[in-house]
Amino acid sequence: MDLSLDVRALRDRLAAFPMAFRAAASIAGPRDARWKPAPEHWSILEIACHLLDEEREDFRVRAALTLEDPEREWPRLDLEGVSERRGYRERDLETVLDEFTRERARSVAWIDSLPAGTDFSRARPHERFGPLHAGMLLAAWAAHDALHLRQLARRLHDLAKRDAGPYRVDYAGEW
């Protein structure tokens, strides 16, 4: 098993993700994109808004700072109540997806601009994860996409259950 960081594979997944997310999100219409099964859950629109915020404020910024100056403080992220604070539910899904696609293209361009031999082992101390390496951030970025694609799929499953009326969806298989 090869234990080297595969920057190209991660970069390619990051590049392909906006199209995949848009395709899955388009399964729900505009009204359903705002629907949530419970107040503590995010709608498809809120998930998309979160991805846009993360693209602008988290992974690219933190990976760049870690590569440039691991001792430099990261900008603070405050995710508590972010949907209400930033008006996620009032946004337009197509507009958010367009913005996310543009931001992700900027991120991929940034990855492409890194010189050959970039030291992804550069790390900064993190109170929860210990040394947080630039390579960990790159891999977590792609994994974060997958987690939110799973969350979107869950919301689509929830919509099928909602729309089933008196009928169950368990014939589809276990979630």
What's residue 97's pLDDT? 98
Q: Does residue 5 surpass a pLDDT of 90?
A: yes
* Cβ(15)–Cβ(138) below 8 Å: no
Q: Domains along the chain? A: 7-172 (1.20.120.450)
For the ranges 9-23, 67-81, 94-108, 147-161, which has the lowest average pLDDT? 67-81
What's residue 162's pLDDT? 97
Q: 37-96 pLDDT, tens per residue?
A: 999 999 999 999 999 999 999 999 999 999 999 888 888 887 788 888 888 889 999 999
Nearest partner of 100 among 172, 47, 151, judged by Cα: 47
Cα distance between residue 162 and residue 148, in whole Å: 21
Higher model confidence: residue 115 or residue 175?
A: 115
Q: Does residue 1 surpass a pLDDT of 80?
A: no
The model scores a pTM over 0.85: yes
Q: 90-136 pLDDT, tens per residue?
A: 999 999 999 999 999 999 999 999 999 999 999 999 888 899 999 99
What's residue 2's pLDDT? 62
DSSP symbol at 36: -
Q: Does residue 175 surpass a pLDDT of 90?
A: no
Nearest partner of 78 among 103, 50, 99, judged by Cα: 50
Q: Which residues pair with 124 in a beta bridge?
A: 132
What's residue 87's pLDDT? 85
What's residue 171's pLDDT? 95
The mean per-residue pLDDT over the stretch 157-172 comes to 96
